[in-house]
A = this chain, B = another copy of it.
């Protein structure tokens, strides 16, 4: 029942484009869900995407453009005049409209706004452009349904009918007082089943009203909607006046983007990239972390060169250099990942830093002991009891240090308002490499007396 994009479909589509076979497209493409049309456009050449986009009716154009990836969306938008863009904006939600124009140059935005026929739409977009993109204000839309507490149900239905024309999805009716301050909620379900003369004030829910402020951070909004299982949340200004609402679909996008960003940061990628981006863009996003890794490697070389004489006499010491650095890195990344996640989820917020480090050290002792015993046996068989002792003692020490640093650094970054996910990348690996090498070689030269 759901449409599944196949290679066959793409081939048929491509030949229909070649042959200008509009009737094929009308039968097979334009009848699809706008989200499917958008995914199909993503798979075509840019010129073909623009060609098809222009064949869509205005309403479908509005739906499709919102579903497109930023890159293709901007490309298509740039092929239109300001007047044409203005016409399209009238068919889409205010939040999407503001997002769409926010990427364009300031003077073109003013031109577009000037062309918007409906005054209210223009005002809504201008208002939304004032907010920072990663706040509740930047995420909210101006389309929502509100009712005054003293209205009876029948008046409410009449008023809602007017408002509802421009609100595609109603989840909850927000109840306000005469100063437009949010005082509660009313579900559509309760309204539907209430008698016409009941007053809203006798129906609505005025306890535990969850709202967000325009200045609240995106991620905070996501956390609140997740915690309270909300499908929409009202946005209020500092005077508690209702100014917008945020719907769950936009928040799901925030959650996914954040997860992607964290995953990429932890993997040493500094910009939000996709596998379909250009070689140049992908290379650029990856070079900062590689440079940090390179710098770490140079520090490592510096440390080893301090022990050049020792290695020359006891070259076996070099055998376990990769083991020590790899284990320090692995343990550090594990520790920091746990901290980063607990910070992101807002759990465990009342524990002291000291307690967390103590706990991580204990984990380090448990795992360090086990690993040390194993590696003692291996290094003993591999070379000698001396090397076994050197490797196992330094591995134990490195594991504990790595666990402590892995815990401490993200906590410190968070304290100074830097994204702690930064810590789980090559950063912590590099630090632990240098430290681990020093510990290992120091113990080595002491044990061998070289």
Contact (Cβ within 8 A) A275 B228? no
Tell me, yes or no, whether A385 is within 8 Å of chain B by CB.
no
Integer count of this chain's copies in the complex: 2
Which one of B251, B266, B331, B338 contacts A266 once the chains associate, using CB atoms below 8 Å? B266
In angstroms, Cα B319 to Cα A42, docked, is 48
Residues of B within 8 Å of A230, CB to CB, are 249
Given contacts A188-B188, A263-B266, A347-B274, contact A305 B327 (CB under 8 A): no
Highest count of chain B CB atoms <10 Å: which of A211, A280, A334: A334
Asked if A279 and B359 make an inter-chain contact with CB atoms under 8 angstroms apart, the answer reads yes
Is A259 positioned at the interface, with any CB of B under 8 Å from its CB? yes
Closest CB in chain B relative to A339 CB, distance in Å? 7
Q: Which 9 A-B pairs have the closest CB atoms?
A: A297-B323, A267-B337, A259-B259, A300-B322, A229-B249, A301-B319, A275-B342, A312-B315, A33-B208
Tally of contact residues, A, Cβ under 8 A: 129
Q: Which of B263, B290, B305 contacts A337 (CB 8 A)?
A: B263
In the complex, the chain B residue whose C-beta lies closest to that of A273 is B338
- Separation in Å of the A380 CB from the closest CB of chain B? 12
Known: A1-B240, A290-B334. 15 other contacts (CB 8 A): A169-B189, A171-B231, A226-B249, A259-B262, A275-B338, A276-B351, A279-B366, A282-B363, A283-B363, A294-B371, A304-B319, A304-B322, A308-B315, A321-B321, A330-B426
Please determine whether B276 and A252 come into contact, CB atoms closer than 8 angstroms: no
Shortest A8–chain B CB gap in Å is: 11
Cβ of A224 < 8 Å from any Cβ of B? yes
Q: Which of A270-320 contact B (CB under 8 A)?
A: 273-276, 279-280, 282-283, 286-287, 289-291, 293-294, 296-298, 300-301, 304-305, 308-309, 311-312, 315-316, 318-320
> Contact: B275 with A297, CB < 8 Å?
no
Assembled-state Cα–Cα distance A191/B192 (Å)? 9
Q: Which residue of B lies closest to A2 (CB)?
A: B210
- The stretch among A107-115, A135-143, A429-437 that forms the contact with chain B is A429-437
CB–CB B188/A170 < 8 A: yes
Q: Chain B nearest CB: distance from A220 CB in Å?
A: 10
| CB nearest to A317 among chain B residues | B318
CB distance from A159 to the nearest CB of B (A): 12
Which residues of chain A have a CB within 8 Å of any CB of chain B? 1-2, 7, 10, 31-33, 35, 39, 42-43, 157, 160-161, 164, 169-171, 187-189, 191-193, 207-211, 224-231, 240, 248-249, 251-253, 255-256, 259-260, 262-264, 266-269, 273-276, 279-280, 282-283, 286-287, 289-291, 293-294, 296-298, 300-301, 304-305, 308-309, 311-312, 315-316, 318-327, 329-331, 333-334, 336-342, 345, 347-348, 350-351, 356, 359, 362-363, 366-367, 370-371, 374-375, 378-379, 382-383, 424, 426, 429-430, 433, 437
Question: Which has the most chain B C-beta neighbours within 10 Å: A2, A164, A322, A363?
Answer: A322
Once bound together, how far apart are the Cα atoms of A33 and B229, in whole Å?
11
Q: Knowing A164-B193, A338-B269, A347-B275, say if A286 contacts B363 (CB, 8 Å).
A: yes
